[in-house]
Amino acid sequence: MSLSQETRQKLIAAAQKARQYAYAPYSNYHVGAALLAENGTVFTGCNVENATYGATVCAERTAVFKAVSEGVREFQAIVVATSNGGSPCGICRQVLYEFAPDITVIMVDETGTVRHEGSLHDLLPMGFSPADLV
Ligand code: THU
């Protein structure tokens, strides 16, 4: 499903705002995400690092888990905001794939410029889904 320009801009602004809340004292790489549910609700997230490093949670998963923990499991699009338009990590791609293999993923840099927009299928070809558990 294609996004209106108004919705795209709203999501970009929300992801950039969420990025301001990133807790990233170790990497200093601040990430924000804005996840658009099928019902129109927007869930935001930021990366939350940890002194153990391994307990760090990415911005995208923060947003997905906020949504799922509030009973929302269907998603249309996610905007990921970073300094340089960085790409979602493999774990976040897999978590998104669980709920929304067709989701549109938009990556923006700190100016809000779209560096990439496309389907999750292109980022995670032949992803493993619940349907594979037969
Ligand atoms: N990070 C995200 O929040 N999302 C990604 O998809 C890539 C990486 C975070 C994790 C860590 O806090 C920092 O960026 C550097 O890896």
What are 8-28's pLDDT values in tens digits?
999 999 999 999 999 999 999
Residue 39 contacts residue 55 (beta carbons within 8 Å): no
What is the pTM assigned to this prediction? 0.97
**Pairing mode, strands 32-37 and 42-46:** antiparallel
Q: List the structure tokens of 85.
A: 């338009």
Give the H/E segment covering residue 100: none
CA of 104 to the centre of ligand 1 (A): 19
Which atom of ligand 1 is found nearest the CA of 60?
Answer: 4
One digit per residue, pLDDT tens: the chain, 134 residues? 589 999 999 999 999 999 999 999 999 999 999 999 999 999 999 999 999 999 999 999 999 999 999 999 999 999 999 999 999 999 999 999 999 999 999 999 999 999 999 999 999 999 999 999 98
Distance CA 126, CA 122 (A): 9
Q: CB-based contacts of 105: which residues, under 8 Å, 6+ apart?
A: 77, 78, 80, 88, 96, 116, 117, 118, 119, 120, 123
Domain ranges in the chain are 5-127
DSSP-derived 3-state class of residue 45: strand
User: Catalytic site residue 74?
Assistant: no
Beginning with the edge strand found earlier in the chain, give each strand of the sheet holding 104-108 in spatial order: 42-46, 32-37, 75-81, 104-108, 114-119
- Regarding the beta carbon of 30 and ligand 1, being less than 6 Å apart is answered no
CA of 64 to the centre of ligand 1 (A): 14
CA of 134 to the centre of ligand 1 (A): 32
DSSP 103: -
Residue 114 contacts residue 87 (beta carbons within 8 Å): no
For domain 5-127, which CATH number applies: 3.40.140.10, 3.30.70.270, 3.30.1330.10, 3.40.50.720?
Answer: 3.40.140.10
